[in-house]
Amino acid sequence: MTAKIIDGKAIAAQIRQEAKNEVEVLKDRGVTPCLAAVLVGDVAASKVYVKNKRKACENIGIASVLHTPTAEISEPELLKLIDELNHDQAIHGILVQLPLPKHIDETKVIEAIDPSKDVDGFHPYNVGRLVIGLDTFRSCTPAGVQELLLRSGIDVAGQHVVIIGRSNIVGKPMANIVVQKQKGANATVTICHSRTRNLPEITRQADILISALGQPQFVKPDMVKQGAVVIDVGINRIDDPSSDKGYKLVGDVDFEPVSKVASAVTPVPGGVGPMTVAMLMVNTIKAARMLLK
């Protein structure tokens, strides 16, 4: 068997087109959605992510402003910047790119963001609403995975979804999204992590395996049930002297051999990555729309 390749790039482009149409409607009603991005310091991958997010904004007509404090910014100074953005009426969404420098407490920063502008869905208020099944801002990557499955015609209802990774950004919200009694959900969920015993035994039970642990090519074919759907959330840089950049991007899944076992699989790049950006656009529009109600 050769797996169907789920084209995240194409599905994300479709979502961005829908978002563009919604932005036009909002503009007709006098509101231009605006995202404030905060990029602290000089982390190469973070710079690329923020650049991609701002480019997506520009393409669909969302305004964006960028703040780039140096890695030396103090925690109180960063909290002050967030407070200013919270009070700025022209800004609908605030995105603080993670990770932050070691001397800054990420939790404090996330908790400082006004939950109604928390387009990343990281604030405990929004996470709590997600857990109890209320409408809220949801973390963009897991929300993107759900959308990818929905639009690929893969119904998770009643299926065993196994997630590798328990991060606050992906693993935990992913589990809470697909377990809900809602459309695109109703799954049976298992979360695995670094302390899980007999990991391959559990992953082999997955109808849908979602890998979000951040280790290059960790998922091998003997960890995957024949015919399972495999979603690769990992974006890992590995050395590649043959490339101009000196590195290449690979996922958490050993793509070639796994695609001989799975029924469908997402590639890296071009799978989940573009969905994260598309869902950020959706969340920013949602934040702007909330003002009209």
120 is catalytic: yes
In the complex, the smallest distance separating the C-beta of residue 24 from ligand GUN, rounded to whole angstroms, is 26
E strand or H helix at 232, and its extent? Answer: strand 229-232
Shortest separation between residue 227's beta carbon and ligand GUN, angstroms: 30
For position 96 contacting ligand GUN by CB under 6 A, the verdict is: yes
Closest by alpha carbon to 174, among 183, 182, 164? 164
Closer by beta carbon to ligand GUN, 43 or else 63: 43
Task: Tell which one of 98, 131, 179, 199 touches ligand GUN (CB under 6 A).
Answer: 98
> Of residues 53, 117, 172, 286, which has the active-site annotation?
53
The one-letter amino acid code at 104 reads I
133, 180 Cβ separation under 8 angstroms: yes
Q: Site for ligand GUN (CB under 6 A): which residue of 64, 136, 217, 276?
A: 276
Q: Is the dihedral of CA 73, 74, 75, 78 positive or negative?
A: negative
Q: Which residue is nearest to ligand GUN (CB)?
A: 98
Please report whether residue 169 would count as binding ligand GUN according to CB under 6 A: yes
Q: Of the residues 120, 207, 232, 254, which is catalytic?
A: 120
One DSSP character per residue, 76-135 reads: HHHHHHHHHHHH-TT--EEEEPSPPPTTS-HHHHHHHS-GGG-TT--SHHHHHHHHTT--
Choices 57-65, 82-90, 96-104, 220-228 (CB under 6 A): range interacting with ligand GUN: 96-104
Residue ranges in 27-86 that form contacts with ligand GUN under rule CB under 6 A: none
Is 141 a binder of ligand GUN (CB under 6 A)?
Answer: yes
- Decide if residue 126 touches ligand GUN (CB under 6 A): no
State which residue, 52 or 188, has the beta carbon closest to ligand GUN. 52
User: Could you tell me the CA-to-CA distances from 70 to 38, 39, 111, 153, 249 in Å, in that order?
Assistant: 11, 9, 21, 44, 27
- Should residue 120 be labelled a site residue for ligand GUN when binding is judged by CB under 6 A? yes
Number of residues lying near ligand GUN (CB under 6 A): 9
Short-list 233, 279, 243, CA closest to 52:
279
- Asked if 260 contacts 114 with a C-beta cutoff of 8 angstroms, the reply is no
- Determine, following the binding rule CB under 6 A, whether residue 119 of this chain makes contact with ligand GUN: no
Using the contact rule CB under 6 A, the part of the chain among 95-103, 128-136, 142-150, 224-232 near ligand GUN is 95-103
SS3 category, 37: strand
Question: In the annotation, is 53 catalytic?
Answer: yes
To the query of whether residue 183 is one of the catalytic residues in this protein, the response is no
Picking from 206, 209, 272, 264, the residue whose alpha carbon sits closest to that of residue 235 is 272
- The helix (run of H) or strand (run of E) holding residue 44 is helix 44-60
| Contact of 6 with 265, CB cutoff 8 Å | yes
Question: Is the CB of 141 or the CB of 217 nearer to ligand GUN?
Answer: 141
By beta-carbon proximity to ligand GUN, the closer residue of 47 and 160 is: 47
Among 22, 54, 78, 97, binds ligand GUN (CB under 6 A): 97
Number of helices (H), then strands (E), belonging to the chain: the values are 10, 11
Show which residues are catalytic: 53, 97, 120
Applying CB under 6 A, the residues found at the interface with ligand GUN are 95-98, 120, 140-141, 169, 276
